[in-house]
Amino acid sequence: MKAKITLMVAMMTIVLTAAAMPYTDARNKAMFLSDKMAYELNLTESQFEAVYEINFDYMLNLEDETDLFGYNWEIRNRDLGLVLSDWQRNQYLTSEWFYRPFSCDANGWTLAVNNRYNEGQNFMQQPDVFLSYKGGHNQMDNSFYAGQQFDMPQPMYLGKAN
């Protein structure tokens, strides 16, 4: 009997340590990253909500360092490409802290945008979907965002809208 209990405890420990990023952490990190993307890329409200969902799905599915730039990262990039305008996408691709959202060092991996912005420094209010969206739009075959229309901002040059 003790052996069965010990085995069950060991299995539970393995399952819990192999789990993806905790839900609350994923939601908060996705909000922090999406907020900075909204600020720097001049996202509209509809884009901001979609970017939050995309970032949340990506973070919710991170289990280890190999996931940072793997399958879910590819889905994230594809979906962001469907939401952003051409000039926003170009800005996104050249912004290492957005394109590769995590950096790795001896202490593990952290949001790269933390090197640019302090925690708690927010520019936007939480999107409407912050509390209601539970994840699941990140599908490889059929993007949830394909064919959707998003309000697009005017291009920004040298920090000024044209």
pLDDT in tens, 29-43: 999 999 999 999 999
Q: What pLDDT, on a 0 to 100 scale, did the predictor assign at position 74?
A: 94
CA dihedral 130, 134, 138, 139 (to 10 degrees): -150
Q: Where does the pLDDT of residue 123 fall: very low under 50, low under 70, confident under 90, or very high at 90 and above?
A: very high
Position 15 pLDDT exceeds 70: no
Note the pTM of the prediction, 2 decimals.
0.80
What letters, b where the CB count within 10 A reaches 16 and e where it falls short, cover 125-156? eebeebeebebeebeeeebbbeeeebebeeee
110: DSSP letter: E
Q: Which of 3-12, 55-64, 106-115, 124-133 has the highest mean pLDDT?
A: 55-64
pLDDT in tens, 47-105: 999 999 999 999 999 988 888 999 999 999 999 999 999 999 999 999 999 999 998 77
Position 106 pLDDT exceeds 70: yes
